[in-house]
Structure 1
Amino acid sequence: MKQADGKYIFEALNWASSFLEEHDRDKNVSELALRHVLQIDRTQLLLNLREKLSLSEWFAFQKLIYQHVDGTPIQYLLGYEEFFGRNFVVNPDVLIPRPETEELVLGMLERVKKYFGTCQGLDCIDIGTGSGAIAITLKLEMPELNVIASDVSKGALVIAEENAKRFGADIQLVEGDLLEPFIGKKRFDIIVSNPPYIPLSDRGSLSTVVKDHEPPSALFGGLDGLDFYRKIIQQLPHVIKEKALIGFEIGSGQGQAIRELVRELFPLIDIEIVNDINGKERMVYGYIE
């Protein structure tokens, strides 16, 4: 390829968008990558489309685009992903936060206010915290919450701790398998989780960017995708208070099965299955009293 000495920003974006589309990648990555290289926001980028890139900037931009086309998620290349307006540090030890999970958090914030009124003194656990995005966001949006974030992965907890410090979120991090560390020791008002829920049979349909780079332990939930829900739900009676709010992110089409799993133990629970912005089942909320 010709060296783009003096290439304009708009030319670089056009090249990258076309190159990405040719290789079945999201063309919007071009803008994210160039903003990262230039360390500017979207408004600044759009205002400077006719500015020229230096040769070093162009090479850095090309490198990111080529690496992404080869399969590496752009978030791992940049080292962060935006969630709730904050840039969370990510690496291959953690699942990349998704917009759907922002919807889970929004739903939890609304229901905490609805069912409890005040957050004062409420104990919350985020199971399988990964980057800490859910736990940290809940703490920052509702500072009165007492938030614990757990994960079985030491590597994930390192990233979650880095993010908690980055945003000044006073949360407690616990290493352990699901709710096991808390049985007989701690009870919670609020339980939230985005566990692995992709059925193993769906692996072949996933993008190589996802299945070859994000941690499998954070993606797959057994043959039907429900293994982690079964385990968490069986542990709930041992860790919830008399009144408790639960919230799960789920895969499309899993809502009814999870409703039935919960009602086996809590027949009177008020269960909601909520669709995401794309009209797919994505959240299950339940209030136990």
Structure 2
Amino acid sequence: MRKKNSEILETEIEYVETDLVTLFLEEKRTFDMILANPPYIAEAERAEMSDYVLKNEPDLALFAENDGLAIYERLAIDLPHLVNETFWIGLEIGYAQGEAVQKIISKKFSTSRGSYPQRYEQER
């Protein structure tokens, strides 16, 4: 899928797996675009989740502290050091987190635009 996306977009895409952004901060790297699907589920939502997801995904990939917002709070601190002058950041969010994440991100980025509904009209 990664290779296919690069071919479709006719551009070189670098995919990196790291502890959030630690590697990039250490290397003082900056980017035009950052896409992330961080863990965003509150522990309190565990009981509502499907057994299939809970059995097939590690907790680290699903759950975050502070009602699922902890990773966004950390990203809001780190992302300003990682983007070029003109940039685009896309973050997947939980279905009820649009307003909270917008508030967190807009503290660091005045041009923050909001969320866009996914299928079933849920913000994601």
Q: TM-score range by the shorter chain?
A: 0.7 to 0.9
**Could you tell me which amino acid in structure 2 is paired with residue 250 of structure 1?**
I
Structure 1 equivalent of residue 7 of structure 2:
140
Correspondence 1:251 to 2:117: no
Structure 1 residue 233 and structure 2 residue 76: aligned? yes
> Which 5+ residue runs of structure 2 have no aligned equivalent?
none
Deviation at 1:137, TM superposition (A): 5.5
Structure with larger RCO (C-alpha < 8 A, sep 6+): 2
Q: Which has the greater radius of gyration?
A: 1
Task: Check whether the contact 2:102–2:112 (CA below 8 A) recurs between aligned residues.
Answer: no
Q: Structure 1 residues 276, 240: closer, same or farther in 2, change over 3 A? A: same
1:23-102 matches, cutoff 5 A: none
Query: How do 1:141-160 and structure 2 match up within 5 A?
Result: 141-144=8-11, 146-151=12-17
Aligned residue for 2:23, secondary structure, equals: helix
Length-normalised TM-score, structure 2: 0.88
* Residue in structure 2 matched with residue 47 of structure 1 by the alignment: none
Deviation string for 1:179-213 (max 9, x for gaps)? 11111521100010111111111111111111123
Amino acid in the other structure paired with 1:236:
L
Q: Which residues in structure 2 correspond to 1:264-279 (within 5 Å)? A: 264-266=107-109, 268-279=110-121
Kindly report which structure 2 residues correspond to 1:66-215, keeping only aligned pairs within 5 A, or say none. Answer: 136=3, 138-144=5-11, 146-151=12-17, 176-183=18-25, 184-215=27-58
What amino acid maps onto 1:202 in structure 2? E
Runs of 4+ with deviation above 3 angstroms: 135-138
Alpha-carbon distance change, 221 to 140 in structure 1, aligned in 2, over 3 angstroms = farther
Identity among equivalent positions (%) equals 32
Q: 1:150 aligns to what SS in structure 2?
A: coil
RMSD over equivalenced CA pairs, Å:
1.8
- Count of residues paired in the alignment: 123
- For 1:221, the aligned partner's letter is A
Quick one: distance in 2 between partners of 1:247 and 1:138?
A: 16
Unmatched 5+ stretches in structure 1: 1-132, 152-175, 283-289
TM, length-normalised to structure 1: 0.40
**Residue deviations 1:150-172, cap 9 Å, x none?**
32xxxxxxxxxxxxxxxxxxxxx
1: distance between equivalents of 2:41 and 2:7?
Answer: 29
Higher strand share: 1
Shift of 1:138: 4.0
Does the CA-based 8 Å contact 1:221-1:227 persist in structure 2? yes
SS for the counterpart of 1:272 is coil
Q: Is the 8 A contact 1:255 1:281 kept in 2?
A: yes
User: Using a 3 Å threshold, how does the CA distance of structure 1 residues 138 and 269 change in structure 2: closer, same or farther?
Assistant: farther
Matched residue SS, 2:120: coil
